[in-house]
């Protein structure tokens, strides 16, 4: 259903990926239903009746539009206002990166905002809009912390991966299979903690419980966005328990205190740097724990299993090509696995980007319109009013069939050669892959580190093994991977 353009003397600004200027201006389709009942209906469709992908796909088909109005969970009583405008194509999605047009205040988790009790009473950087004074201070601090540890990334992660693969082999030998997620979680936490704290978590009061402590803490914050998928638990009971009211902080208070104390005691020099920037020591530590736990550990918790899943299921042909490229480059490289060596591995880089495209570690993006604007899809233009919430489901934007050929298929060499031009449509980091994080934007400060670690994971894997087989499934917020066999490279015995 179309409508006429705004009659104001100057039209609202446009946003999108340079679409044709002559697209028709249409009314945004969709509705929110009856107060209270509409959001409950959409929540049941999203979690139980349809599931995430079908929830969005059915509405795209119903409205013949990738931009439409709907309610997003959790709704009553977790979220005061569940109404959103969904943007589900590669052209409209980038409006969510433009902080001159959208506000990112308290929207990290969507239409609800977890209690600040989970972060020591502070609104940490991830919940701040760049217009807020503290945002640039904290983001700049994060970027400087990462830059100072630049030379540690590869050797420290290689050491962590040696332990990971040894544990995988031990589990395979003992049980005939290995739970990659559990072992990867432990490795990710240990690496991340050691990177910032210069000591192993086992040398602190955290001990060997770090990944479990963070997982508990994450669950209580993100419960409104998940379903347990338990067949014996009636839907209405789970919905009431997880989605209707915020889960309290007190069950994970002791877990968080162990994490906080472990970081606080181990990062005195880092916290001193924060104090020089005018950040109070306590607030700095809560921000560091959030970045390390929610952003870094939470991201690796979903990314690494997804990466192994897609590589495992891609088959032996891709495995042979990856192994050949990796071993050839490493053998001819002075210093072995280095930044420059990794940069020469074009297939490896493409495989990592393809995994991030097809299964982004963070599937959702939100932003509240700061101004009246016009957003484009491939086929039409739609006016969004100031104050309306915009929502993007990233897997639909990064699997846009108008941009990517065979978008649902994992194509390992998709981004090789001319395919590199498509990297601007890979959005996993709250920005384009071709953009860089700054203190003034909301792109992941560790964007380049995450890509690096994913590459090193595959390099170290294929230096040891020729191929693998795995059983894959789904977990609360990502993929599950159980490795069932590994074939060692001949040179490794």
Structure tokens at 407: 């978008």
pLDDT, mean of residues 357-362: 95
Any residues with CB less than 8 A from the CB of 64 and at least 6 apart, and which? 29
pLDDT value, residue 229:
85
Nearest to 87 by CA among 324, 469, 484, 376: 376
Any residues with CB less than 8 A from the CB of 18 and at least 6 apart, and which? none
Q: Is the dihedral of CA 214, 245, 369, 403 positive or negative?
A: positive
Average pLDDT, the chain: 94
Distance CA 63, CA 41 (A): 18
Bridge partners, residue 431, by sequence: 428
Confidence of residue 475 (pLDDT cuts 50, 70, 90): confident
Helices (H), 335-482: 339-343, 346-358, 394-397, 447-464
pLDDT value, residue 270:
96
Residue 32 scores a pLDDT above 90 = yes
State the Cα torsion 55-58-62-68 to the nearest 10°.
40
Query: What percent of the chain has a predicted confidence (pLDDT) above 70?
Result: 95
Nearest to 129 by CA among 456, 441, 408, 466: 441
Residue 3 scores a pLDDT above 70 = no
Over residues 221-245, the pLDDT tens digits come to 999 999 998 888 999 999 999 999 9
Over residues 101-144, the pLDDT tens digits come to 999 999 999 999 999 999 999 999 999 999 999 999 999 999 99
pTM for the model: 0.93
Is 321 exposed, middle or buried (CB count within 10 Å of its CB: 0-12, 13-18, 19+)? middle
Over residues 388-445, the pLDDT tens digits come to 999 999 999 999 999 999 999 999 999 999 999 999 999 999 999 999 999 999 999 9
Confidence of residue 328 (pLDDT cuts 50, 70, 90): very high
Residue 19 scores a pLDDT above 80 = no
Any residues with CB less than 8 A from the CB of 280 and at least 6 apart, and which? none
Q: Is 285 annotated as a binding residue?
A: no
- Beta strands 14-15 and 373-376: pairing type? parallel
DSSP symbols for 84-131: EEEE-STTTGGGGG-TTTEE-TT-TTSS----GGGGTT---GGG--TT
Structure tokens at 61: 């088909």
DSSP symbols for 160-194: HHHHHHHHHHHHHHHHSSEEHHHHHHHHHHHHHHH
Host H or E run for residue 134: helix 133-148
Confidence of residue 268 (pLDDT cuts 50, 70, 90): very high
pLDDT, mean of residues 242-270: 96
pLDDT value, residue 490:
82
Of 4-8, 228-232, 265-269, which range is least confident?
Answer: 4-8
pLDDT value, residue 334:
87
Nearest to 259 by CA among 209, 296, 220: 209
Confidence of residue 8 (pLDDT cuts 50, 70, 90): very low
Confidence of residue 4 (pLDDT cuts 50, 70, 90): very low
Do residues 401 and 90 make contact, with C-beta atoms less than 8 angstroms apart?
A: no
How many DSSP H helices and E strands does the chain contain? 16, 12
Residue 211 scores a pLDDT above 70 = yes
Structure tokens at 229: 């998928």
Residue 13 scores a pLDDT above 80 = no
Residue 10 scores a pLDDT above 70 = no
Over residues 50-99, the pLDDT tens digits come to 999 999 999 999 999 999 999 999 999 999 999 999 999 999 999 999 99
């Amino acid at each position: 259903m179309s409508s006429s353009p705004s009659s104001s003397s100057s039209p609202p600004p446009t946003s999108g990926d340079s679409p044709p200027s002559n697209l028709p201006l249409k009314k945004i389709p969709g509705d929110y239903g009856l107060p209270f009942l509409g959001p409950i209906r959409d929540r049941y469709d999203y979690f139980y009746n349809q599931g995430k992908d079908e929830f969005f796909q059915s509405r795209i088909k119903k409205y013949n539009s990738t931009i439409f109005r709907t309610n997003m969970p959790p709704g009553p009583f977790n979220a005061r206002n569940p109404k959103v405008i969904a943007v589900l194509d590669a052209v409209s999605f980038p409006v969510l990166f433009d902080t001159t047009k959208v506000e990112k205040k308290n929207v990290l988790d969507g239409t609800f905002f977890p209690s600040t009790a989970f972060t020591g009473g502070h609104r940490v950087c991830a919940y701040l809009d760049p217009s807020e004074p503290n945002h640039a201070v904290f983001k700049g601090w994060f970027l400087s912390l990462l830059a100072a540890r630049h030379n540690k990334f590869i050797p420290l992660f290689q050491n962590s991966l040696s332990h990971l693969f040894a544990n995988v082999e031990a589990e395979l030998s003992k049980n005939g299979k290995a739970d990659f997620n559990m072992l990867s979680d432990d490795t990710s936490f240990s690496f991340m903690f050691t990177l910032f704290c210069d000591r192993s978590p086992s040398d602190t009061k955290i001990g060997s419980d770090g990944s479990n402590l963070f997982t508990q803490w994450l669950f209580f914050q993100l419960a409104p966005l998940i379903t347990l998928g338990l067949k014996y638990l009636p839907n209405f009971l789970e919905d009431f328990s997880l989605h209707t009211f915020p889960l309290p902080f007190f069950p994970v208070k002791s877990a968080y205190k162990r994490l906080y104390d472990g970081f606080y005691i181990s990062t005195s020099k880092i916290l001193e740097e924060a104090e020089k920037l005018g950040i109070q020591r306590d607030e700095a530590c809560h921000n560091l724990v959030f970045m390390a736990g929610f952003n870094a550990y939470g991201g690796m918790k979903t990314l690494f299993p997804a990466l192994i899943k897609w590589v495992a299921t891609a088959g032996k042909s891709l495995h042979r090509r990856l192994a050949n490229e990796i071993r050839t480059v490493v053998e001819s490289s002075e210093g072995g696995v280095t930044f420059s060596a990794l940069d020469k591995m074009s297939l490896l880089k493409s495989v990592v980007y393809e995994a991030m495209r097809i299964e982004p570690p963070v599937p959702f993006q939100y932003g509240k319109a700061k101004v009246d604007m016009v957003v484009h899809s491939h086929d039409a233009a739609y006016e969004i009013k100031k104050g309306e919430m915009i929502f993007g489901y990233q897997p639909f934007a990064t699997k846009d069939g108008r941009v990517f050929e065979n978008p649902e298929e994992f194509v390992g060499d998709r981004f090789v050669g001319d395919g590199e031009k498509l990297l601007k449509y890979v959005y996993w980091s709250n920005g384009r892959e071709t953009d860089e994080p700054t203190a003034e934007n909301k792109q992941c400060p560790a964007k380049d580190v995450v890509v690096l670690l994913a590459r090193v994971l595959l390099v170290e894997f294929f230096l040891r093994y020729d191929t693998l087989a795995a059983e894959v499934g789904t977990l609360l917020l990502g993929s599950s991977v159980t490795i069932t066999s590994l074939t060692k490279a001949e040179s490794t015995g």
